[in-house]
Structure 1
Amino acid sequence: MTTSFEDRILAERARMRGSIEALQKRSIEYARGERSRGILLKTLAYESTGHLDFALFDCPPVLDYGKGALVYDVDGNEYIDLHAGFTVNVLGHGNREVNEAMKAQMDRLNHFAELPVESRAELARILASRHPGDFEKKVMWAVTGGEAVEICIKLARWYTGKQIIVTHWGDYHGRTAGAMALTSKAFMMAYSYPIPPADTAVVRIPFPYCYRCPFGKEYPACDLFCADQFEKMFESKETWLNNPRAGVTNVAAMLIEPFQSSAGYLISPLPYLKRMKEIAEKYDYLFISDEVQNGMGRTGKLWAIEHAGVAPDLIAIAKSICNGLPLSAVTGRKEVLDSWGPGAHSSTFTAYPTACAGGIKVFEIFDRDRILEGAAEKGSYFLAGLEEMARRRPSIGHYNGLGLYLSIELVSDRKTKAPAGDATAWASRELLRQGVICMTSGYLYNRLCFAPPLVIEKEQIDRALNILDRVLSQMERQFEIGG
């Protein structure tokens, strides 16, 4: 029998909310020093519990300062940063050149809503020139990644005159009302109560999560079965997507993460991405790459989609453009971005001069210091360390990486692939205690994700791998994995 509203909702709300007393207890018990403990308790006293800090960690570190790929809390504890603030700090913490460039601009003019300034125009030129493809490009500015995605949605529908956006189950595209309609996280949807994101013209397809293929296939022997299944949807009049007899498609765009970030740093087969672009061209809709978390050099190329040799019509960019201040953009085809008239979309803090000055300096350093090449080289070094570790650690069921975008999936049994969710949570807490900050994610709560600043040193990678190996050894004993 289905549970009634009265018996269901209050109990579910209690589980989702937790209690302030429980968070205070965790802060008192697990804080790594008196100053940290005091600040955590002050945070709980005056900030909403709806923030992310206590969702990321049982007891989040209270950071004080950072340098490069190292951060320090207010009690002096050092951490190797394999998180980079969700990939924001691409050139590391405390980058003097970027900070000085932003300060110099701030001293001249920090903000004047949406008016042209030199730093904004120059960064637009740089970003347009870095969008792949042999066609004219332009830029539309925004502030956050979610807003950049909303621009992509609105632009695609406006330009094509079509309704449907196709995306993947497991993609993360933001939490604003429009972007949330494309984000597939159950706990986030639960908070959109009682009215869910009201976009009904969204179609989701399975992501090519080859380690746990939803079709029960094995890559590459499957010959991209998932892509074939998607294309077959266009051959029927009963799927919303297409009327084959009339030759009319209802799709405005495919908007996807080329690699899934929030879902666990999952790298899709590169031929799959190429095939998705071919299907978009065949049925005449836009192909949009959400690179908010895996762009800006993270994977060893400026844009993750470039690994597949694909030139998307639009790219959503954010987080790491200026190494720390909020700034986002949509780059892409001139004819699409110029289909809007003046004032079609605006935001008060869009492309404010200080952030743009920082972005110009970031690209200057990228070119001068060969940051992309370094990310690719150090990423291969990091991946080789994970590969060697996987040969010795029965808890590592799967690992992947491109550049400094890496993850491992923890299992209690390699043969059955039984997820080790509780063990992963334990490992995350212990890694933090031993001085490594990383992300915990995964469809089944069992992936550890690694995204350090691109300036991390090999010696720091070695230290992080040694700590990870030690923690996994302790975890395997604690949870009797592979014994």
Structure 2
Amino acid sequence: MPPSADAWHVNDSPAPIEQDGVEQHGVEQVRRLVTEVPGPRSRELDSRRSAAVSAGVGVGLPAYVARAGGGVLVDVDGNHLIDFGSGIAVTSVGNAAPEVVARVQAQVADFTHTCFMVTPYEGYVAVCEALAELTPGEHVKRSALFNSGAEAVENAVKIARTHTGRQAVVALDHAYHGRTNLTMALTAKNMPYKQGFGPFAGEVHRAPMAYPLRWPGAAEKTEEQIAAEALDAFVSTIRTQVGESNTAAVIVEPIQGEGGFVVPPAGWLRGVADFCAEHGILLIADEIQTGFCRTGDWFACDHEGVVPDLITTAKGMAGGLPLAAVTGRAEVMDSVHAGGLGGTYGGNPVACAAALGAIETMRSHDLVGRARRIEAILRPRLEALQEKYPVIAEVRGRGAMLAVELTAGPGDLTPHATATAVINKHCHSQGLVTLTAGTFGNVLRFLPPLVSPDHLLEDGLDIIEDAFARVLG
């Protein structure tokens, strides 16, 4: 039988991440290279990929994974790679968390699909109950489940337009919200996400983002001044170009993801929320990458006590299985007519079982605290690297969502995308899975699984330091 509606609740006393043992979930927690990366079997598989998979599907590191667990990926050549990517913030609980595996196996044995809109099941309800408890705010909430973050964003916009009777949606510079037609319109970066795919959905407008490093005159301004100026620019854009009474929603990533892990200055997000509330505009928090313990809080909005009207989640929610959600105020969510929300696979029972197991793992292992511990390990060494290499213009992020932005050097913010790419490639060759990001392609981002043991984090940092030394001398 599927888990009972309250089965995700567990004892609140946290179990520690295993530090002394050499295995997590059957995978030895060490970096070990037995071939070059990628190795011969991976290269063979990559040839098959080239022959069978669309060239439009890019691959960052063509080392084909055979097993994974904890903070390690084992490729088909037997190389043990340190994972600083988590499948883009998806496998926060690891790739084979025991509670996720157990619940998925039990659910698969019972049934894999019925379609919740045809004959429903308890797991869907239990996930929505968990979301009501965990997401920001004490108000009555409802949720709807989908397959991907882009679907969640699309549906959040539908809900906002229905509830307000307005059409305009405002997104921000450097934003990323997905690859569907509407979410491409919301996304700021052209290449590779939008190039050649237009025309895009209408009634989408863009406002300035509070990007402290790149705010005009930032070197001479305090964080408080930048927050105030950025908020004024945001308000002015809506007032003059859109109109408050025409605006259904503002969608914002509390910390931007693909845009380069941009952290707005303290107070800016609160100001945006207050402006939206004053004018009857719904605030949609896109927490698809930041949610579920990643930033050292359950959700990044919690850091400033901001309560959005709607919140979109996906990625880390279900331990690697495709599941997404829109959660919001009951009166907003219930404003949509019956049948207006849904999808054949939305809230698939196996994915719901995985989500319940992932949430239990987050609670029982105190992964909120673990994310803060990861920051305490990574940030000092990244900041020391910044002191040594002035091309690192900024170290930023929160929790286990950290990044460095590379530029031409002190006083010159020209993006240094070439060095970023070369450093990233060197990390790959040494068995460390890293990712790039940023509107200008000049950001290295680090998203280790929250269950990664300390020694793996330190080993990964050693590789990063060596990469900078080799590339920049």
TM-score when scaled to structure 2? Answer: 0.88
User: Cα distance, 1:340 vs. partner?
Assistant: 1.4
Distance change >3 Å, CA 152–CA 281, structure 1 → 2: same
Mapped partners of 1:323, 1:364: distance in 2: 11
Q: 3-state DSSP class of the match of 1:456?
A: coil
User: Cα distance, 1:184 vs. partner?
Assistant: 1.3
Mapped partners of 2:227, 2:113: distance in 1: 52
Does the 8 Å contact 1:210/1:219 carry over to 2? no
Partner residue of 1:416 out of 405, 412, 422: 412
Partner residue of 2:178 out of 153, 174, 178: 174
Partner residue of 2:454 out of 443, 458, 465: 458
User: Cα distance, 1:335 vs. partner?
Assistant: 0.4
1:144 aligns with 2:140: no
Mapped partners of 2:238, 2:400: distance in 1: 36
User: Cα distance, 1:324 vs. partner?
Assistant: 0.9
Residue of structure 2 in register with 1:35 after alignment: 41
Does the 8 Å contact 1:389/1:469 carry over to 2? yes
Does the 8 Å contact 1:215/1:226 carry over to 2? no
Residue of structure 2 in register with 1:203 after alignment: 205
Partner residue of 1:50 out of 46, 56, 59: 56
Q: 3-state DSSP class of the match of 1:462?
A: helix
Residue of structure 2 in register with 1:256 after alignment: 252
Amino acid of the residue matched to residue 397 of structure 2?
G
Residue of structure 2 in register with 1:163 after alignment: 167
Q: 3-state DSSP class of the match of 1:111?
A: coil
Mapped partners of 1:358, 1:151: distance in 2: 22
Distance change >3 Å, CA 184–CA 234, structure 1 → 2: closer
User: 1:356-405: per-residue Cα shift (whole Å, max 9, x none)?
Assistant: 11111111122221111111122222112212222222332211121100
Residue of structure 2 in register with 1:472 after alignment: 468
Give runs of aligned pairs for residues 364-443 of structure 1, distance below 5 A.
364-443=360-439
Residue of structure 1 in register with 2:86 after alignment: 84
Does the 8 Å contact 1:299/1:376 carry over to 2? yes
Larger Rg: 1
Does the 8 Å contact 1:206/1:214 carry over to 2? no
Does the 8 Å contact 1:260/1:266 carry over to 2? yes
User: Cα distance, 1:419 vs. partner?
Assistant: 2.4
Larger RCO (CA under 8 A, 6+ residues apart):
2
User: 1:211-267: per-residue Cα shift (whole Å, max 9, x none)?
Assistant: 1115757342435201012223455xx42214xxxxxx1110111111110111121
Mapped partners of 1:99, 1:191: distance in 2: 40
Residue of structure 1 in register with 2:100 after alignment: 98
Mapped partners of 1:223, 1:81: distance in 2: 34
Larger deviation: 295-304 or 440-449?
Answer: 440-449
Partner residue of 2:158 out of 129, 154, 162: 154
Does the 8 Å contact 2:252/2:286 carry over to 1? yes
Mapped partners of 1:222, 1:153: distance in 2: 29
Q: 3-state DSSP class of the match of 2:317?
A: coil
Residue of structure 2 in register with 1:118 after alignment: 122
Structure 1, unaligned runs of 5 or more? 1-29, 243-248, 478-483
RMSD: 1.6
User: Cα distance, 1:458 vs. partner?
Assistant: 1.2
Residue of structure 2 in register with 1:190 after alignment: 195
Residue of structure 1 in register with 2:131 after alignment: 127
Amino acid of the residue matched to residue 433 of structure 1?
S
Mapped partners of 1:223, 1:358: distance in 2: 39
Larger deviation: 465-474 or 419-428?
Answer: 419-428
Amino acid of the residue matched to residue 175 of structure 2?
D
Mapped partners of 1:325, 1:89: distance in 2: 9
Mapped partners of 1:182, 1:134: distance in 2: 29
Residue of structure 2 in register with 1:480 after alignment: none
Q: 3-state DSSP class of the match of 2:195?
A: helix
Number of equivalent positions: 433
Q: % of aligned pairs identical?
A: 32
Residue of structure 1 in register with 2:230 after alignment: 226
Distance change >3 Å, CA 49–CA 233, structure 1 → 2: closer
Mapped partners of 1:309, 1:229: distance in 2: 23
Does the 8 Å contact 1:397/1:409 carry over to 2? yes
Mapped partners of 2:348, 2:406: distance in 1: 43
